[in-house]
Structure 1
Amino acid sequence: MHYGESLDYLYGLQRFGIKLGLENIKNLLDALHHPEKAYAVIHVAGTNGKGSVSAALAEILRQAGYKTGLYTSPHLHSFTERIQVDRCPISEADVCALTKEIRASSGSVPATFFEFTTALALLYFARQKVDFVLLETGMGGRLDATNAVTPQLALITPISFDHIEHLGRDLAAIAGEKAGILKEKVPVVIGVQDDSALEVLLAQASQKNCPTWVAGVDYTVIPRGGRFTFAAQGICLENVKPALPGRHQMHNMGQALAGALALREQGVALPEEALRRGVENVRWPGRLEWWGGGDFLLLDGAHNAAGAEVLAEYLTSLRPAGVRWVFGMKAGRNPADLLSPLLPLVKEVYCAPPPVEEAVAVQDLCEAVARHEVPCSAWLSPAEALAAALAQRTPEEIVLVAGSLYLVAAAREHLQQQDEKGL
């Protein structure tokens, strides 16, 4: 089986759609003799910041000398990015071999794409003999395929409205689903939360006798310009400069640091220098990413209301002369969630469809923007929209690409091609 054939098989499993429940993944792990028991798992749920927190804590562990696996979704450019060991993606050859092996072992288990991919990742990490795995939920928590594990630590990042058709239509209901990853007596680090979500999380943690680390109570993050101070239980890290920009990322980095301290309480050796180096060296492309290290082209995967709000806060702090926004969304998303926070900062919008099977129609996006009386144009591709925005940009203006991580990926691929051509 070649890599392309393996991907065809994996993506073909999407015909089973989204299936919430643990029966299939448990059957898969039974067939594979439970590879997830070969290492310590740190389970991460939430709405926004899951990937950043997971990547940061993985980097802290790596800086301390531990071999560390990282499982996240979706990817930017390659399926292999979803499964990494010490920042190195799984090889295409390993994807092929493990796909073939799991197909042979799983028999008639009707696994979905995410269930099969989760099993593949857990098996790969065991074969790589990792010490720790950062395991990010795909959606929700209670019935997410990743919830078949018993972790050493859980983290729940900020909860907001997303996937409401599956998780519930208020924050308390969504928090209840996210809290489903909590296991008896397993410590949990809870990031900044709305009061209604926090109440649910604390109640679930108490019911399961989970030691808790709560943002603003058990640990604090104090931003100062582009740096922050982190303080918790006898430790104070001052003047920390996170690799990822934005005030919200400081809170994400603080949650990762609190997770590291929770692990230290369990006997994991994590020197302070590793804590600092971890957040100062973490990489997470496509999230408030200044292309090429410059100061005028910003790529961000914001795709829901909470993400748009933190993006708007960051842009406001920069006080640009104007923002030219390349905008596109995957079908099922509500354009208003992004338009309301961002359009007051925007001079012109360039709408283009992200490269997904179903996207919000560009005409619908333009009509939604027009209701706010902001100039808008329609383009056939992200590359054309980006070229137009860059061509019309004046000094001191920012070009922003946001609305979908798939849109960001398309823009990055176009920019990489331009760089390779020397343009």
Structure 2
Amino acid sequence: MSELQSWLERLERLHPTEIELGLTRVAAVARELGVEKPAPRVISVAGTNGKGSCVATLEALLLAGNRRTGAYSSPHLLRFNERVRIDGREATDTELVEAFEQVEAARGDTSLTYFEFTTLAALWLFQRAGVDVALLEVGLGGRLDAVNLVDADLAVITSVAVDHEAWLGSDREVIGREKAGILRPGSPFVCADPEPPLSVVSAGASMGAEGYFLGSEYHLDDDCFRFGEREIRIPADIALPRLSIAAALAALLVLDAMPAVADEEVTGILAGLQLPGRCQRLRWRGRELLLDVGHNPAAAAYLARWLAEHPVAGQTRALVAAMADKDLVGLFAPLAQVVDAWCPSLLPGNDRAAGCEALLAGLEAAGVPSARVSADCPAVAAAMDRLVADTGSDDRLLVFGSFFTVAEVLQHVRDDIDGES
């Protein structure tokens, strides 16, 4: 076992609960570490969906403008190192272990959750590297998330939808209030939600935070982004959600941090954007795979639109494994008309994962005919092998439902390729 893996397993046992929202403990350790402002400029990104895509867009454009950039995102798919990037490079095991040692020395008797501990480690690495801009993706909610210990120079809210109800509430107004917790008095913010909750609008107004809203201060018409007199084309076939890309463009224009290149070059940078697990296309064993980490109804609706806009000659077959606490009916219903065959699958060893009975009941309630559903619910790896064998060259195999599901498939594909080589 590597030293990094030993640390990560220790962090999982360090705090009595996986999640404990609140800033008191983590902010106290941040002060001890001196990482309350890890970079001259900080952009915090919250939202139900699209946060990672927004951060990836910001990162690519800032690097194109030769800005030293730190990016912190979560969760990871295959390696923890994915969460912390400096100038586009994942932090090494050695760097992360050194950062963990610094946090451990600073925390004393203060108990920290896994996410709090790793957030502080990322901030320490950014500060030590001397990055110009730190991009911080909120883990859960906003107001009480560990990332919010840092006062952002600009905040982005990508979307507000119902998810994580046990922690954030069950309606968009309450959830919007939590997301708006990352706003700061006098600092600007960008909101990409086409119908922002009143709680977000009023939060900005009450503290004098200037808001830039989609359809008002900036616009996205088909593939054209407009901000004042500036127009930038977003490639039509891009896999990442255009709303998140537009929010990133608006954020950099507000901060006067866009790279000093022609708009055509910006379009070229956007064309090269890709993010693992976000409408990610792969070829494996001669078959087309589409991997997406979508795990709530809003994400499923986006995925359904993407599938309809990118048809295949054959069928679309879906492998889905999801967490038991998710709205399974809402997750499946948007895709009921665009998926031809379903293979609900299991994640062995994951105590949070939905079982076979729950998955089948969710598909039935979502209106998926039983004739389209494989009812035996194999484990994800076994389901992949079966589906690829049954999938024709003109078909598409969709994998979605959670980060865990996509991670399991990516690892299975990697192991298979390594075995062949």
TM-score by length of structure 2 reads: 0.92
Residue 37 of structure 2 is matched in structure 1 by 36
CA distance in 2, matches of 1:202, 1:375: 43
CA distance in 2, matches of 1:271, 1:75: 32
Decide which moves more: 102-111 or 341-350: 341-350
Could you tell me which amino acid in structure 2 is paired with residue 69 of structure 1?
G
CA distance in 2, matches of 1:102, 1:286: 30
Say if 1:406 and 1:352 are closer, same or farther in 2 by CA, change over 3 A. Answer: same
Residue 230 of structure 1 is matched in structure 2 by 225
Equivalent residue in structure 2 for 1:324, among 299, 317, 328:
317
Decide which moves more: 135-144 or 280-289: 280-289
Residue 407 of structure 2 is matched in structure 1 by 409
Residue 270 of structure 1 is matched in structure 2 by 259
| Matched position secondary structure for 1:169 | coil
Residue 205 of structure 1 is matched in structure 2 by 204
Per-residue deviation at 1:37?
A: 4.2
Does residue 263 of structure 2 align to residue 285 of structure 1? no
Residue 93 of structure 1 is matched in structure 2 by 94
Partners of 2:328 and 2:359 within 8 A in 1? yes
CA distance in 1, matches of 2:253, 2:110: 39
Equivalent residue in structure 2 for 1:360, among 329, 351, 354:
354
Residue 136 of structure 1 is matched in structure 2 by 137
Measured against aligned partners, the alpha-carbon deviations of 1:88-134 in whole angstroms (never above 9, x if no partner) come to: 11111122122122112210111111111111110011111111111
CA distance in 1, matches of 2:309, 2:146: 39
Per-residue deviation at 1:296?
A: 2.5
CA distance in 2, matches of 1:158, 1:418: 37
Per-residue deviation at 1:283?
A: 3.0
Partners of 2:38 and 2:123 within 8 A in 1? no
Per-residue deviation at 1:66?
A: 0.6
Runs of 4+ in 1 over 6 A off after TM superposition: none
Measured against aligned partners, the alpha-carbon deviations of 1:183-213 in whole angstroms (never above 9, x if no partner) come to: 0111101102335x1x221211111111221
Could you tell me which amino acid in structure 2 is paired with residue 313 of structure 1?
R
Residue 346 of structure 1 is matched in structure 2 by 339
Residue 217 of structure 1 is matched in structure 2 by 216
Say if 1:381 and 1:39 are closer, same or farther in 2 by CA, change over 3 A. Answer: farther
| Matched position secondary structure for 2:37 | helix
- % identity of equivalent residues: 29
Residue 313 of structure 1 is matched in structure 2 by 305
Could you tell me which amino acid in structure 1 is paired with residue 115 of structure 2?
F
TM-score by length of structure 1 reads: 0.92
CA distance in 2, matches of 1:386, 1:287: 18
Q: How many residues align?
A: 411
CA distance in 1, matches of 2:258, 2:194: 29
CA distance in 2, matches of 1:416, 1:244: 24
CA distance in 2, matches of 1:73, 1:318: 28
Could you tell me which amino acid in structure 1 is paired with residue 317 of structure 2?
R
Per-residue deviation at 1:332?
A: 1.2
CA distance in 2, matches of 1:213, 1:330: 35
The runs of 5 or more residues in structure 1 that have no matched partner are none
Residue 239 of structure 2 is matched in structure 1 by 245
Q: Report the RMSD for the aligned CA atoms in angstroms.
A: 2.1
Per-residue deviation at 1:357?
A: 3.5
Map of 1:151-162 to 2, 5 A cutoff? Answer: 151-162=152-163
Partners of 1:354 and 1:404 within 8 A in 2? no
Say if 1:104 and 1:334 are closer, same or farther in 2 by CA, change over 3 A. Answer: same
